[in-house]
Protein backbone atom coordinates (compact mmCIF):
# COMPACT_ATOMS: atom_id res chain seq x y z
CA UNK A 1 0.00 0.00 0.00
CA UNK A 2 1.31 3.41 -0.92
CA UNK A 3 1.81 6.10 1.69
CA UNK A 4 -0.07 9.36 1.94
CA UNK A 5 1.65 12.24 0.18
CA UNK A 6 3.64 9.92 -2.08
CA UNK A 7 4.26 11.10 -5.64
CA UNK A 8 2.71 8.80 -8.26
CA UNK A 9 2.23 8.91 -12.02
CA UNK A 10 -0.97 8.09 -13.87
CA UNK A 11 -0.21 5.17 -16.21
CA UNK A 12 -3.70 4.04 -17.25
CA UNK A 13 -7.33 5.06 -17.27
CA UNK A 14 -9.12 1.79 -16.62
CA UNK A 15 -12.55 3.30 -15.97
CA UNK A 16 -12.30 6.08 -18.57
CA UNK A 17 -12.47 9.00 -16.14
CA UNK A 18 -10.42 11.29 -18.40
CA UNK A 19 -7.37 10.88 -16.20
CA UNK A 20 -4.30 12.76 -17.46
CA UNK A 21 -2.08 9.80 -18.38
CA UNK A 22 1.58 10.65 -17.90
CA UNK A 23 0.96 13.40 -15.35
CA UNK A 24 1.96 13.13 -11.72
CA UNK A 25 -0.13 13.47 -8.61
CA UNK A 26 -0.02 12.90 -4.87
CA UNK A 27 -1.95 10.38 -2.82
CA UNK A 28 -4.14 12.35 -0.45
CA UNK A 29 -6.45 9.60 0.89
CA UNK A 30 -7.27 5.92 0.91
CA UNK A 31 -10.69 4.67 -0.09
CA UNK A 32 -11.41 1.97 2.50
CA UNK A 33 -14.91 1.17 1.30
CA UNK A 34 -14.95 -2.57 0.49
CA UNK A 35 -17.77 -2.11 -2.01
CA UNK A 36 -15.79 0.35 -4.11
CA UNK A 37 -13.21 -0.51 -6.80
CA UNK A 38 -11.16 2.60 -6.14
CA UNK A 39 -8.17 2.34 -3.82
CA UNK A 40 -6.81 5.89 -3.60
CA UNK A 41 -7.75 9.51 -3.94
CA UNK A 42 -5.07 11.27 -5.99
CA UNK A 43 -4.59 15.03 -6.24
CA UNK A 44 -3.42 16.17 -9.69
CA UNK A 45 -1.89 19.64 -9.22
CA UNK A 46 -1.79 20.42 -12.94
CA UNK A 47 -5.56 20.06 -13.24
CA UNK A 48 -6.30 21.24 -9.69
CA UNK A 49 -8.61 18.24 -9.18
CA UNK A 50 -8.91 15.09 -7.09
CA UNK A 51 -9.58 11.69 -8.67
CA UNK A 52 -10.61 8.34 -7.27
CA UNK A 53 -8.29 5.78 -8.88
CA UNK A 54 -7.65 2.03 -8.60
CA UNK A 55 -4.15 0.88 -7.71
CA UNK A 56 -3.59 -0.44 -11.25
CA UNK A 57 -3.91 3.07 -12.74
CA UNK A 58 -1.01 4.59 -10.80
CA UNK A 59 2.68 3.77 -10.45
CA UNK A 60 5.52 5.08 -8.30
CA UNK A 61 8.12 7.30 -9.93
CA UNK A 62 10.96 4.98 -8.86
CA UNK A 63 9.35 1.97 -10.53
CA UNK A 64 8.85 3.87 -13.78
CA UNK A 65 12.45 5.08 -13.77
CA UNK A 66 13.70 1.53 -13.20
CA UNK A 67 11.59 0.16 -16.09
CA UNK A 68 12.85 2.92 -18.38
CA UNK A 69 16.48 2.20 -17.45
CA UNK A 70 15.97 -1.52 -18.19
CA UNK A 71 14.39 -0.68 -21.57
CA UNK A 72 17.27 1.63 -22.52
CA UNK A 73 19.81 -1.00 -21.44
CA UNK A 74 18.09 -3.66 -23.56
CA UNK A 75 18.03 -1.37 -26.61
CA UNK A 76 21.72 -0.56 -26.15
CA UNK A 77 22.62 -4.26 -25.93
CA UNK A 78 20.61 -5.01 -29.07
CA UNK A 79 22.34 -2.17 -30.92
CA UNK A 80 25.72 -3.49 -29.75
CA UNK A 81 24.87 -7.04 -30.86
CA UNK A 82 23.83 -5.79 -34.29
CA UNK A 83 26.88 -3.54 -34.68
CA UNK A 84 29.31 -6.32 -33.75
CA UNK A 85 27.30 -9.00 -35.62
CA UNK A 86 27.18 -11.07 -32.44
CA UNK A 87 24.43 -13.55 -33.32
CA UNK A 88 24.63 -15.36 -29.98
CA UNK A 89 23.98 -12.20 -27.97
CA UNK A 90 21.23 -11.06 -30.34
CA UNK A 91 19.35 -14.36 -30.13
CA UNK A 92 19.70 -14.43 -26.35
CA UNK A 93 18.30 -10.90 -26.04
CA UNK A 94 15.48 -11.24 -28.56
CA UNK A 95 14.27 -14.78 -27.92
CA UNK A 96 15.65 -15.67 -24.56
CA UNK A 97 17.02 -18.77 -26.29
CA UNK A 98 20.47 -20.01 -25.51
CA UNK A 99 22.19 -21.93 -28.32
CA UNK A 100 23.99 -25.16 -27.43
CA UNK A 101 27.40 -23.51 -27.33
CA UNK A 102 29.00 -20.27 -28.29
CA UNK A 103 31.20 -20.49 -31.40
CA UNK A 104 34.27 -19.85 -29.24
CA UNK A 105 33.33 -22.74 -26.96
CA UNK A 106 33.16 -25.23 -29.85
CA UNK A 107 36.93 -25.52 -29.97
CA UNK A 108 38.00 -28.83 -28.49
CA UNK A 109 39.69 -28.90 -25.14
CA UNK A 110 43.44 -29.30 -25.28
CA UNK A 111 44.48 -32.78 -24.23
CA UNK A 112 47.64 -33.59 -22.39
CA UNK A 113 50.30 -35.57 -24.29
CA UNK A 114 49.73 -38.69 -22.15
CA UNK A 115 45.95 -38.68 -22.79
CA UNK A 116 46.54 -38.33 -26.51
CA UNK A 117 48.96 -41.28 -26.56
CA UNK A 118 46.49 -43.42 -24.52
CA UNK A 119 43.71 -42.62 -26.97
CA UNK A 120 45.89 -43.55 -29.97
CA UNK A 121 46.98 -46.83 -28.31
CA UNK A 122 43.35 -47.76 -27.54
CA UNK A 123 42.37 -47.19 -31.16
CA UNK A 124 45.35 -49.23 -32.31
CA UNK A 125 44.14 -52.25 -30.32
CA UNK A 126 40.69 -52.08 -31.87
Query: Which of these ranges, 48-57, 64-73, 77-86, 97-106, has the smallest mean pLDDT?
Result: 97-106
Report, as an integer, the average pLDDT of 102-108: 53
**26-76 per-position pLDDT tens digit:** 999 998 888 888 999 999 999 999 999 999 999 998 999 999 999 999 999
pLDDT of residue 57: 93
Report, as an integer, the average pLDDT of 79-96: 88
- Classify 7-60 by CATH class: mainly beta
pLDDT of residue 53: 94
Which residues in the chain belong to E strands, given as ranges? Answer: 7-10, 24-30, 40-44, 49-53, 58-60
Torsion sign over Cα 20, 22, 28, 33: positive
pLDDT of residue 9: 95
- The CA-based dihedral angle spanning residues 28, 32, 38, 43, taken in that order and rounded to the nearest 10 degrees: -10
pLDDT of residue 41: 94
The answer to whether 51 touches 13, Cβ cutoff 8 Å, is no
Alpha carbons 79 and 87: distance in angstroms, whole number:
12
Report, as an integer, the average pLDDT of 98-122: 67
3-class DSSP string for 82-93:
HHCCCHHHHHHH
Question: Distances from the Cα of 68 to the Cαs of 13, 35, 74, in angstroms?
Answer: 20, 35, 10
Amino acid sequence: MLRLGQKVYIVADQFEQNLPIGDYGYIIAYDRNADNVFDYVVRIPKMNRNFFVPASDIELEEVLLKKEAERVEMEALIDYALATKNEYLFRRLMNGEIPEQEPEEKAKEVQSREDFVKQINLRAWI
